[in-house]
Structure 1
Amino acid sequence: MQSIKTLSVAFTLLLTGCVGNMNPTGNMTRPNYPYYTTQQPIVVKNISVPAGTKLVYEKYAFKKGMQERLLAEDKLTGIHLPEGKIIVWGGVPVTQISRFFNTEMRGYSVYADFNLLEPKQRTKFSQLWQSCNDDLGITVKDIRDWSFNKNNIADVESCSVNYQRYFKDDVQQKQFLDTLYSELMKVDSPS
């Protein structure tokens, strides 16, 4: 009976996500990655971002939390636009871009707010992306450029967890991502 109780407790902890997320003192913590909030409009990763944009960086020696200055752009892991602000990426209003967690993969995820997409701005690409109801994973040739530069975009790696290039033998996923990439390449670049 005791082993069933122990298994039940372990299973509950696993389901709640507590296992592996505690520090040695038992407190739940999140890494305090360094970040900088822009004070004026600037260009990062070839994208013009407004004042108030939060730029999040990877772990940095002796740097945590809010920073007083920009850090090295090659250490950037995320662009989080201020509430109510967007950039247009692929003809879609975007609120956040984050580098892939797996640094061996050359790309980033783009997060859209389809509530801000005007009906007249809808394209086949935006409709396909919206059908996934989540982020879009983009692989690129040059990781220093997160802009909507079709010459730099190598592929659409994923559209939410439902469609991923990782599952190479799944014909439906491959066809969907191929179509999404093809439609992405038809979107006009901003002038």
Structure 2
Amino acid sequence: MKFSKLPLLFAALLTGCVGNMNPTGGNGKPDYPYFVTTKPLIVKKIAVPAGTTLVYEESWLKKGKQDKMLSESKLTAINLPVGATINWGGVPITSISQFFNSEMRGFTVYADFSKLDKSQTNRFIEMWQSCDDNLGIAIKNRDDWSFNPDNIVDVQSCSVLYQRYFKDNKEQQRFLDEMYTEMMKSGRRN
């Protein structure tokens, strides 16, 4: 047997021993409960338009589309209607998702810079735009996903380019520190 085939053999043996580790079976995905708003609402202290999809934690009792909103404490994502954005810190965003690791207090905000009003830019927005479309935000209060400087604790990530996870990378940490400082300045001016 050639050495290059050993990893494939090992993977095949491992798969056979542990079986399919996908809890939903096959290539399926969980059927998370969700609700589509029929009128403008305030959700997690954010004004969202009609047609916004609110996605909730997986539940064996609730699956798929729901007839009414579920508890905000179970909310994991806010997805605006296709083509719609709302202003978050001066940036048009399309969605917000709670951090996958529920032990972490925060969420990821997804921007649509094609709809950004260039005349309204500042250093925070320029930094966000320089690294991509998503920004990870650490917060104090899980009930507030708005651009509230009193609730924002830190910038955890800016795309995959800058991550707090890489603590030894001084450049990444410096960028995120400066971005947080500029975010706070921007939030205090508004």
TM range (shorter): 0.7 to 0.9
> For residue 111 of structure 1, what is the amino acid of its counterpart?
Y
Distance 2:6 2:174 in 1: 46
Equivalent residue, structure 1, for 2:90: 91
Equivalent residue, structure 2, for 1:176: 175
Q: Is the 8 A contact 2:24 2:30 kept in 1?
A: no
Distance 1:4 1:185 in 2: 52
| Matching of residue 148 in structure 1 with residue 147 in structure 2 | yes
Distance 1:138 1:23 in 2: 30
Q: Is the 8 A contact 1:34 1:66 kept in 2?
A: yes
Per-residue deviation at 1:8? 3.9
TM (norm. structure 1) is 0.87
Q: 4+ runs of 1 displaced by more than 3 Å?
A: 1-11, 19-24, 188-191
Equivalent residue, structure 2, for 1:186: 185
Equivalent residue, structure 1, for 2:50: 51
Per-residue deviation at 1:122? 1.5
> For residue 136 of structure 1, what is the amino acid of its counterpart?
L
Distance 2:64 2:34 in 1: 6
Q: Is the 8 A contact 2:112 2:133 kept in 1?
A: no
Gaps of 5+ in 2: none
Q: Is the 8 A contact 1:111 1:134 kept in 2?
A: yes
Q: Is the 8 A contact 1:90 1:189 kept in 2?
A: no
| Matching of residue 158 in structure 1 with residue 157 in structure 2 | yes
Secondary structure class of the residue paired with 1:51: coil
> For residue 173 of structure 1, what is the amino acid of its counterpart?
Q
Counterparts in 2 of 1:5 and 1:188: CA distance versus 1, 3 Å: closer
Q: Is the 8 A contact 2:148 2:187 kept in 1?
A: no
Q: Is the 8 A contact 2:95 2:110 kept in 1?
A: yes
Counterparts in 2 of 1:118 and 1:143: CA distance versus 1, 3 Å: same
Distance 1:87 1:103 in 2: 25
RMSD: 2.3
Per-residue deviation at 1:22? 7.9
Aligned residues between the structures: 183
Q: Is the 8 A contact 1:37 1:55 kept in 2?
A: yes
Gaps of 5+ in 1: none
Counterparts in 2 of 1:175 and 1:4: CA distance versus 1, 3 Å: closer
Which 10-residue stretch deviates more, 38-47 or 125-134? 125-134
Counterparts in 2 of 1:78 and 1:23: CA distance versus 1, 3 Å: closer
Equivalent residue, structure 1, for 2:34: 35
Secondary structure class of the residue paired with 1:177: helix
| % identity of equivalent residues | 52
Equivalent residue, structure 1, for 2:116: 117
Q: Is the 8 A contact 1:165 1:177 kept in 2?
A: yes
Secondary structure class of the residue paired with 2:78: strand
Per-residue deviation at 1:167? 1.5
Alignment of 1:54-133 (within 5 A): 54-133=53-132
Residue deviations 1:119-177 (CA, integer Å, cap 9, x gap): 10121111101111131000001011000111101110111111111122211011000
Per-residue deviation at 1:6? 7.0
